[in-house]
Amino acid sequence: MEKDFEFSARQRPSSVELPSLLACVQSNIANFDITPSPRGETPHSNGSEITGVQNLTNVGSAPSRNSPIQAIKPHHAHTISISLPSSPSGLYVGQNSEIAMSGKAVDNVSNEHSNYHKNPHIVNLQQPKKAMFHSQPMPVGDRKVLNPLEAQPRNPRSSRLRDNRYDSFKTWSGKLERQISNLRGKPQEEEEIIDSQKPEPAPVPGVDRFFDALEGPELETLRASEQLVLPEDKKWPFLLRFPISSFGMCLGVSSQAMLYKTLATSPSTSFLHMSPKVNLVLWSISISLMAAVSFIYFLKVIFYFEAVRREYYHPIRVNFFFAPWIACLFLAIGVPPLVSENLHGSLWYVLMAPILCLELKIYGQWMSGGQRRLSKVANPSNHLSVVGNFVGALLGASMGLQEGPILFFAVGLAHYTVLFVTLYQRLPTNETLPKELHPVFFLFVAAPSVACMAWAKITGEFGYGSRIAYFIALFLYVSLAVRVNFFRGFRFSLAWWAYTFPMTGAAIATIRYSSEVKNVFTESLSVVLSCISTLTVIALLVSTVVHAFVLRDLFPNDISIAITEKRLKSSKKHVRVRAASSDAQDLEACVSGDSEGH
């Protein structure tokens, strides 16, 4: 009966201006039908529906209870099968499940057409808090339920193309998403079509490709002659834009928590009367930040595993895989006394196990890997791979462990020596060292300062070994600080947060030193260094906030992971040039693929 009413209403184009509520109800109830064909037959009626719906959406303020539901629901009808948790619509699916889970209902094409345009805005109105996710393109959902039998309007098709291109970065090329959406209850009929269009995951580029295609001190700027695998002009999904160097923020903030704990508890700075509450506040902030960043990155690992793999193969970003664990170690070292006095020893083993595994892999590559030998890939970010050893030794020694800290100290010292010599040499085969200074150079200060504190804790006194390490750290700090003019002119990136913890480390080492050698100079030096590090962190915080909310480019498209596996233009010429000038070992590395240590 009601259906008859609907159809008759549609076939009377003269009375096309259906009351918005009626149109609403109509499409509402229509959604429960799995009858695509009767609708959308005449363009005229389609047009009426479009205008009807548009009236609805334009009158965004018309707060009839149905309109938001109506506006969202067709959208949910599209996104029924996809439920990326990071998508705001996905969060809604759970709430409106009784409406959304209504079969593979497909609206008429016009509804999709209009809703595709309108829905992002509507949805944003509904969820102002999720501002961070607002750039998640809605088409991800559209693609799934486009009925192949219907005529395809232009826009959904282009949205479908875009989605396929992100597929190569998704876990198992998007199969995981489909699995999850299957688990949520909706079978897919369009899978066969989409499988036929699905691109294979692009093979990960070799190290040489990263050096050829990218430039810059963090290897993040694309060279002019290169192209990307993903579209350059669109904003990619948020998870794809979330780099691992975001853990640098955790490093920066948790090292500040450590600093303020030291300031509060160290006898040489007792004249400052620093309250322990500052440490508590900073520690709470850093632990929540760590939880947030870890969660987001965990989602990226689940949904965009290919992108994570490419980050692992990036010569600079691989070092940031140590950053989460180092940040956890900082959190454990800087834990406020109010929270816990003594941490359990097993925590140390839990935190150091991933560092040990990563190290075995990465140092082994330095030693025996064909393409990733140190003389080629050495760059200041490699300090992040080495400093973890010293931080672990420091934590272990403060917990009272004995053999473990010595083990990590020994390994860290040996590999730090290698890295230090290599970086100082600035070998001609090394392409990653920037000619001008960049904040990444501050990482040079990190290892000696932390090693100094670790050795002092291991031996129980601030002996000659610690002093030597401390003076080396101080010298490097001063030689970089007087060149502060050369640090200008670089584009801000989130990774800069990671470069603040060396300054904090140097400040903490100075505080420790000043408690051994008590005089005005050392005490004032400790205060000065602490102020510098705090000011730097505040400045970075301001820049981050500005970039996040004002300029909105805190997470730009992460082009470093989207380079092509081979150079697309003039590839033949490139290959020939390679053949002419390549060293024999590159050939052997290519040929003896089984000997590579990956």
Partner 1 sequence: MPSLRPFFPLHQIKLHSQQKYMEDNNKPHQIHLQILSAAAADAAHADAAHAGSIPDKTAAKKAVSRLDVLTRFHAGYFRISLALCGQALLWKTLSEPTTDARALRPVVRAVPSFAFALLWSLSFLTLATLCVLYAFRCALRFRCVRAELAHHVGMNYLFAPWISWLLLLQSAPRSFPRPSDGCYHFLWLAFSLPIIALDVKIYGQWFTQGKKFLSMVANPASQITVIANLVGARAAAQMGWRETAVCMFAVGMAHYLVLFVTLYQRFLGSNSLPAMLRPVFFLFFAAPSMASLAWDAISSTFDTSCKMFFFLSLFLFASVVSRPALFKRSMRRFSVAWWAYSFPLTALALAATEYAQEVKGEVANALMLVLSILSVVVTLALMVFTAIRTNDLLPQDDPFACFPTVRRQP
Q: In the complex, which residues of this chain contact partner 1 (CB under 8 A)?
A: 359-360, 363-364, 366-368, 370, 373-375, 378, 403, 406-407, 409-411, 413-415, 417-418, 421-422, 427, 429, 458-459, 566, 571-572, 575, 578-579, 582-592, 594-597
CB 587 to partner 1: min, Å = 5
DSSP state, residue 382: G
Please name the helix (run of DSSP H) or strand (run of DSSP E) that holds residue 14, with its range, or none: none
| DSSP of 153-199 | PHHHHHHHHHHHHHHTTSGGGGHHHHHHHHHTT---STHHHHHHHPP
CB 597 to partner 1: min, Å = 5
Phi/psi for 342 (5° steps) reads: -125, 125
Q: Is the CB of 438 or the CB of 567 nearer to partner 1? A: 567
Q: Is the CB of 289 or the CB of 362 nearer to partner 1? A: 362
Q: What is the separation, in whole angstroms, between the first and last Cα of the chain?
A: 67
CA–CA gap between residue 508 and residue 517 (Å, rounded) = 14
| DSSP of 55-70 | HHHHSTT---THHHHH
CB 595 to partner 1: min, Å = 6
Across the strands, what pairs with 563? 228
Burial of 286 (0-12, 13-18, 19+ CB in 10 A): buried
CA–CA gap between residue 53 and residue 162 (Å, rounded) = 26
User: Two tokens at 333?
Assistant: 């070292």
CA angle, 256 as apex, 321 and 465 as ends, to 5°? 80
Residues of 347-370 as b/e, b for ≥16 C-beta within 10 angstroms? ebeebbeebbebbeebbebbeebb
Q: Is the CB of 327 or the CB of 419 nearer to partner 1? A: 419
CB 590 to partner 1: min, Å = 4
Pairing of strands 221-222, 214-215: antiparallel
Q: Is the CB of 41 or the CB of 461 nearer to partner 1? A: 461
Q: Is the CB of 157 or the CB of 361 nearer to partner 1? A: 361
Report CA 62 to chain centroid distance, whole Å. 39
Q: Is the CB of 207 or the CB of 559 nearer to partner 1? A: 207
CB 52 to partner 1: min, Å = 54
Please name the helix (run of DSSP H) or strand (run of DSSP E) that holds residue 215, with its range, or none: strand 214-215
Residues of 196-226 as b/e, b for ≥16 C-beta within 10 angstroms? eeeeebbebbbbebbebbbbbbbbbebeeeb
Q: Is the CB of 357 or the CB of 528 nearer to partner 1? A: 357
Q: Are 331 and 290 in contact (CB under 8 A)?
A: yes
Q: Is the CB of 83 or the CB of 365 nearer to partner 1? A: 365
Burial of 490 (0-12, 13-18, 19+ CB in 10 A): middle
Q: Are 429 and 410 in contact (CB under 8 A)?
A: no
CB 197 to partner 1: min, Å = 22
Q: Is the CB of 144 or the CB of 415 nearer to partner 1? A: 415
CB 359 to partner 1: min, Å = 8
- From residue 311, alpha-carbon distances to 127, 306, 315, 434 in Å are 31, 9, 8, 20
CA–CA gap between residue 559 and residue 568 (Å, rounded) = 16
CB 484 to partner 1: min, Å = 30
CB 80 to partner 1: min, Å = 40
CB 572 to partner 1: min, Å = 6
CB 346 to partner 1: min, Å = 15
| DSSP of 479-548 | HHHTTGGGG-S----GGGGGGGHHHHHHHHHHHHHHHHS-SHHHHHHHHHHHHHHHHHHHHHHHHHHIII
Q: Is the CB of 181 or the CB of 371 nearer to partner 1? A: 371
CA–CA gap between residue 104 and residue 91 (Å, rounded) = 19
CB 151 to partner 1: min, Å = 37
CB 453 to partner 1: min, Å = 16
Q: Is the CB of 290 or the CB of 413 nearer to partner 1? A: 413
Q: Is the CB of 311 or the CB of 359 nearer to partner 1? A: 359
Q: Is the CB of 267 or the CB of 345 nearer to partner 1? A: 345
